């Protein structure tokens, strides 16, 4: 299985200058390779292979002296990156999206380069941990958690964030099998995501959304200050750095919450059912698009999917159409405006929270999709009042996933 470990680098001023130089050489090579690709297509009527363009690198070094200052494997990954971008565009086009062509990368849009297979290693020098990089030297690294001894380092990507900080992300391969879980899922859960309550599941747990209003207000205030500076001036650059730091703080807090919440569901259950949401289409809607973007549902689902794979948990994405309208007890559809937060079925009389009803429908569809029978517990037996099992996002952020685990354990014992 493959894992990613991300660490903060602590480069000196000389290291920063060297990192920026390597990054810019890689950017120029990317643009040159894109030019050669378009030129080859015009002359031959087809795209060249990645091997063809990669084989040109030795000849380039004959007249492009700067390329000799960068490790050869790094230059090869730049060419591979271009073809990865081409493949991504092709997939989007196949799925019906309107896409254009790849463009040259300006400095602000090319922030990383990668050592693949060789040219890097972690070492101890002078009483501190350093990342030894070919053609760059030894850069101190903050190894806040150890990489497992049985892990094989496959590559490392160095990235400069808009804040000016440098990070190293290691691609790690470990020969491990996911934890053993029953072939037929026993502990199953359906999750309905929302705005006010970020997640409401079929076990009656409702997790509130993180309150990031203070961070947004600070960000907006700093953005207003930036708009008053003369673009490109020293004061503008200084304020741009402050805005970037506000963005980074907001992003870190949101992802911390999403990591802990997704980790809880992946570890605690044998099967997790969620809605296959068209977040892109929802963002194009004029109503509530800002809150939808802030919720980062697609990020949550992506994190949940890979963590379920890591933990051996079944991950099932179901069609979201009608999950709110249908009664989880009898299946009759009832129209409800968004402001109605409770489900009351006119056919069978089943009453519960609107999101709890949707979560049960999601679980039912998930079980059908994987060919497993319905849960022995019915929605009527487990439905709880709106605030019975609520968990604030603040507790998730401060205490992490164990907060949810302890609450689930106490609910079972009761």
Residues 6+ apart with CB under 8 A from 354: 324, 336, 340, 341, 342, 343
Q: Are 276 and 320 in contact (CB under 8 A)?
A: yes
| Exposed e or buried b per residue across 131-157, where buried means at least 16 C-beta atoms within 10 angstroms of its C-beta | bebeebeebbbebeeebeeebebebbb
Looking at residue 371, its pLDDT comes to 73
Looking at residue 23, its pLDDT comes to 96
Is the predicted pLDDT of residue 209 greater than 70, yes or no?
yes
Q: Which residues are bridge partners to 191 per DSSP?
A: 201
Instruction: Read off the pLDDT of each residue in 185-207 and give the average, rounded to a whole number.
Output: 85
Distance CA 88, CA 85 (A): 5
| Percent helix, strand and coil across the chain, each to the nearest 5 | 45, 20, 35
Q: 3-state DSSP call for residue 223?
A: helix
Length, in residues, of the chain: 414
Instruction: Read off the pLDDT of each residue in 384-405 and give the average, rounded to a whole number.
Output: 53
Instruction: Read off the pLDDT of each residue in 132-153 and give the average, rounded to a whole number.
Output: 92
Distance CA 37, CA 34 (A): 5
Instruction: Read off the pLDDT of each residue in 217-243 and give the average, rounded to a whole number.
Output: 93
Question: In 3D, which of 36, 54, 26, 40 has the Cα closest to residue 160?
Answer: 26
Which of 17-31, 39-53, 241-255, 285-299 has the largest mean confidence? 17-31
Tokens of 105: 């990368």
Looking at residue 393, its pLDDT comes to 58
Where do we find the tokens 């700093």?
Answer: 222
Distance CA 43, CA 278 (A): 41
Is the predicted pLDDT of residue 286 greater than 80, yes or no?
no
Q: Are 333 and 326 in contact (CB under 8 A)?
A: yes
Question: In 3D, which of 376, 378, 374, 358 has the Cα closest to residue 197?
Answer: 358
What confidence tier does 196 reach under pLDDT thresholds 50, 70, 90? confident
Looking at residue 287, its pLDDT comes to 57
Half-sphere exposure of 65 (CA within 13 A, CB side): 0
Looking at residue 278, its pLDDT comes to 66
Q: Select the more confidently predicted residue: 34 or 182.
A: 34
Tokens of 65: 């002296």
Instruction: Read off the pLDDT of each residue in 255-283 and give the average, rounded to a whole number.
Output: 83
Strands (E), 237-334: 271-275, 314-318
Complete DSSP assignment for 77-135 = HHHHHHHHHHHHHHHHHHTT-------PPPGGG--EEEEESSSEEEEEETTEEEEEETT
Half-sphere exposure of 172 (CA within 13 A, CB side): 18
Per-domain residue ranges for the chain? Answer: 2-174, 188-413
Tokens of 319: 């069609």
Is the predicted pLDDT of residue 414 greater than 50, yes or no?
no
Looking at residue 397, its pLDDT comes to 57
Q: Are 372 and 386 in contact (CB under 8 A)?
A: no
Q: Are 210 and 43 in contact (CB under 8 A)?
A: no
């Amino acid at each position: 299985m493959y894992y990613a470990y991300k660490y903060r680098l602590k480069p000196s001023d000389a290291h920063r200058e060297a990192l920026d130089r390597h990054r810019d050489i890689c950017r120029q090579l990317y643009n040159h390779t894109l030019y050669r690709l378009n030129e080859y297509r015009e002359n031959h009527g087809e795209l060249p292979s990645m091997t063809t363009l990669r084989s040109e690198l030795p000849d380039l070094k004959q007249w492009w002296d700067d390329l000799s200052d960068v490790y050869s494997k790094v230059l090869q990954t730049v060419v591979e990156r271009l073809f990865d971008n081409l493949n991504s565009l092709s997939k989007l086009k196949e799925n019906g999206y309107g896409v254009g062509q790849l463009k040259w990368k300006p400095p602000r849009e090319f922030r990383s380069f990668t050592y693949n297979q060789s040219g890097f290693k972690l070492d101890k020098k002078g009483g501190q941990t350093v990342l030894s990089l070919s053609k760059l030297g030894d850069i101190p690294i903050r190894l806040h958690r150890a990489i497992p001894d049985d892990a094989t380092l496959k590559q490392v990507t160095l990235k400069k964030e808009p804040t000016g900080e440098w990070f190293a992300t290691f691609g790690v391969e470990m020969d491990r099998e996911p934890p053993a879980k029953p072939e037929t899922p026993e502990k199953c859960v359906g999750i309905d995501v929302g705005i006010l309550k970020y997640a409401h599941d079929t076990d009656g747990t409702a997790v509130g959304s993180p309150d990031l209003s203070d961070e947004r207000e600070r960000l907006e205030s700093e953005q207003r200050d930036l708009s008053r500076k003369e673009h490109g001036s020293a004061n503008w650059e200084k304020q741009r750095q402050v805005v970037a730091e506000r963005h980074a703080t907001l992003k870190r807090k949101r992802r911390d919450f999403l990591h802990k919440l997704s980790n809880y569901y992946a570890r605690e259950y044998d099967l997790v059912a969620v809605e296959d949401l068209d977040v892109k289409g929802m963002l194009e809607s004029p109503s509530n698009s800002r809150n939808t973007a802030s919720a980062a549902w697609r990020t949550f689902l992506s994190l949940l999917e890979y963590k379920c794979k890591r933990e051996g948990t079944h991950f099932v994405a179901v069609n979201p159409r009608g999950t709110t309208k249908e009664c989880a007890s009898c299946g009759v559809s009832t129209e409800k405006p968004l402001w109605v937060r409770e489900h009351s079925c006119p056919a069978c009389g089943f009453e519960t929270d609107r999101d709890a009803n949707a979560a049960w429908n999601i679980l039912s569809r998930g079980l059908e999709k994987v060919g497993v029978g319905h849960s022995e517990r019915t929605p009527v037996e487990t439905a709880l009042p709106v605030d019975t099992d609520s968990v604030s996002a603040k507790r998730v952020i401060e205490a992490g996933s164990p907060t949810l685990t302890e609450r689930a354990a106490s609910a079972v014992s009761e």
